[in-house]
Structure 1
Amino acid sequence: MRKIVAAINMTLDGFCDHTVITPDEEIHQHYTELLRNAGVILYGRITYQLMQYWQPLAKNPSGEKSMDDFARAIDKIPKIVFSHTLKNVEWDSARLATQPIEEMVSELKQQPGKDIFVGSRSLIIQLLKLNLIDEYQLCVHPVVVGKGLPLFENITDRTILQLLHTKTFNSGAIILYYKRANPEHK
């Protein structure tokens, strides 16, 4: 069975906003490898449209190796986009979800293949509420912004996580790897 892995960048004060963090070469390399080892990534409309930034770089490299490698990896990985407003997607490797998130994720999880990554805040919140996330990879960047969209917003049930390990980058960013603790410790 495939794992559902929530992988997202956030600020030290818990906000998700890709415009306030500056990933360096080391972080781009990390996420390039992550994408190369994933089977599919799930996005909501907003994150999907944000990630389309990389589409032109995949076709016309910038000359910055870590960014170009990431652009090729994000271009190649299959993407499923959950949206109520998009009618089509322009990325060849993307498709719109045709089922509700719970059904689609449950089906994907049963299929053979590499792990399924979730890269959108809104989807992470929905899947957390449905108890469908197997692992969290939270990349916390050393920046405080004081406002924005909190990662864990409108969560009403207590979820206890178990720290698996960490990865520290030279920039001071750190990835916290968690899994859901045993259900009896809820």
Structure 2
Amino acid sequence: MAKLIYVTNVSVDGFIEDADGSFNWMPRDEEVFAFTTELVRSVGTFLYGRRLYELMSVWETDASLAAQSELLADFARAWQAADKVVYSSTLAEVSTARTRVERRFDAAAVQRLKATAGGDITIGGAHLAAQAIRAGLVDECQLIVWPVAVGGGKPGLPVGGRTDFELLDERRFRSGVVLLRYRPLVH
């Protein structure tokens, strides 16, 4: 069975966006980016909320990104190779290949996908990931923690209820970024 992995960048105070909806507080870090590319290369399917899908779709729709460096081109190739499922009640059409839209999150359908997928699945978008965590579907959370506190914004983990986690591993990057790998514990 494939693993469902929630991967997200967060500030040290737990936010994926600051109060203005920006994430420009994460500087480019080639070591972290190379790690992320290896993770993306291992993914068979991405599950996205609409906003994150629209942000990530540039890796297929804007060739100038990949033209900037081999590191960026490698990421673009890895991202394009995976299937994508976008959860949105408003998105009329998709701009990338290997992509389909689902109008609502269906835990049973995600469980079936996990049972039949040929590779691991990542889920992105804090709201979508929170639904999957609450449903007990997420096997692992990989938090890429940046050494900055933004003071508020969109939380990276579910709010409004308790979720316990078991630490699986950690990795420190030269820049002070830390990868924390956790298993959510469902009660």
C-alpha deviation, 1:58, in angstroms: 4.7
Q: Which residue of 2 aligns with 1:167?
A: 171
Between the aligned partners of 1:48 and 1:130, the Cα distance in structure 2 is 22
Query: 2:43–2:121: 8 Å Cα contact kept in structure 1?
Result: yes
Unaligned runs of 5+ in 1: none
Q: Provide the TM-score with structure 2 as the length reference.
A: 0.88
Per mean C-alpha deviation after superposition, the further-off stretch among 124-133 and 145-154 is 145-154
C-alpha deviation, 1:63, in angstroms: 3.3
Q: Which residue of 2 aligns with 1:14?
A: 14
Aligned length: 182
C-alpha deviation, 1:55, in angstroms: 2.2
Q: Which residue of 2 aligns with 1:124?
A: 129
Query: 2:83–2:98: 8 Å Cα contact kept in structure 1?
Result: yes
State percent identity of aligned pairs. Answer: 36
Deviations 1:63-102 (A, max 9, x none): 3222221122112211110000002101012211266331
Higher strand share: 2
Query: 2:65–2:72: 8 Å Cα contact kept in structure 1?
Result: no
Query: 1:8–1:119: 8 Å Cα contact kept in structure 2?
Result: yes
Q: Which residue of 2 aligns with 1:47?
A: 52
Instruction: Describe the SS at the equivalent of 1:16.
Output: strand
Query: 1:11–1:144: 8 Å Cα contact kept in structure 2?
Result: yes
**Does residue 81 of structure 1 match 2:86?**
yes
Q: How does 1:1-186 map to 2 (within 5 A)?
A: 1-17=1-17, 18-58=23-63, 61-97=66-102, 100-156=105-161, 158-181=162-185, 186=187
C-alpha deviation, 1:46, in angstroms: 0.5
**RMSD after superposition:** 1.9
Instruction: Describe the SS at the equivalent of 2:149.
Output: coil
Instruction: Describe the SS at the equivalent of 1:54.
Output: helix
Q: Provide the TM-score with structure 1 as the length reference.
A: 0.89
